[in-house]
Amino acid sequence: MELKEFLKLIASEYGPGGYEENVVKIIQENISKYSDEVKTDNSGNLIAFKKGNGKGKLLLEAHVDEIGLVVSKIVNEDYVRIHMVGGVDYKILPGQRLKIFGRNGKVYRGVVGMLAPHLQKSSDRGKVIDFDELFVDVSMNDEKPELGSMAVLDAPVVELGETLLTGKALDNRSSCAVIFEVFKTLSKIKHDADIYALFSVKEETGGVGATVASFSIEPDIAIILDVTHADVNGSMEPEIKLDGGPALGIGPTVNREVFETLKKAAEENNVKYQIEPLPGRSGTDADSIQLVKKGIKTGLVSIPLRYMHTPAEIVSIEDLKEAVRLLTAYIIKF
């Protein structure tokens, strides 16, 4: 399966923190063709292994979960209330369609409602709706979702022209697709290091999965893949651009030797890249993986993404391809 189609497939699937099984299953079925071993652990992480010549262990890590919602109150047979799972900005929710996954295995539809502007008081029309005023209309279902049912935005990934994709969960299924493509590439070339791919769970709710799995793998070096904010109109310096290539993180969280080696691999292979200064914590699984056991040397490679944690995230497939080229070149030099 080609990179773009694989990303569209996994990003459109349901998988909030703690409920990633559907996404993990799709990745497992596809990456197994290019791996020597694939397994899941007790936390639900997926770990794929590609044998080299035993000269060190390199971990490529990306989280599979997405932001979501949980049904927190049943109002009546037509309406439920919700609470956020992960970093959801409630201001984007009014008018959104939801897929709600019941504890009984059934899938329900929902619409996040609010009072129409025609019915609002004139004094209220300019106000941002409070979270407590949001409700989900579930009246279109024959049966109703139970308390504790999980939901995600109903926003499948679609193409915008030849290179751009938009939809939900491109944070961080984009990175998962990059690792999948790297394993496809490694099936055709020789490499000295043993390569582990970790598709970790629960990053959006605390990063538990990455910590557990990296403890068991205990790699020499870990390259964490995630997304970063792109094209934010000068509010961040330096500004990360779509189609500018992957962003290499540099700062206290990142091992300087790993950063320099990644940068050199990019320059020697004419891979487009950008630099992302990190003043402290990166907000990625790199923050926890570097602390495992005696400490793990970490690098951070991020995919530029617009409109993070919304139903209209945007990435460029060209940036993903450049990330694949970068990681492949790094592995060959490892």
Catalytic residue IDs: 203
Please give the Cα distance from 320 to 3 (Å, whole number).
Answer: 9
Provide the b/e sequence for 15-40 (b: ≥16 CB within 10 Å). Answer: bbbbbbbebbebbbebbeebbeebeb
Cis peptide before 238 (omega within 30 of 0): yes
- The rounded Cα 111 to chain-centroid distance in angstroms is 24
Whether the Cβ atoms of residue 58 and residue 331 lie closer than 8 Å to each other:
yes
Can you tell me the distance from the alpha carbon of 50 to that of 32, in angstroms, rounded to the nearest whole number? 10
Give the 3-state secondary structure of residue 25: helix
Write the secondary structure of 188-247 as one string of H (helix), E (strand) and C (coil): CCCCCCEEEEEEECCCCCCCHHHHHHHHHHCCCEEEEEEEEECCCCCCCCCCCCCCCCCE
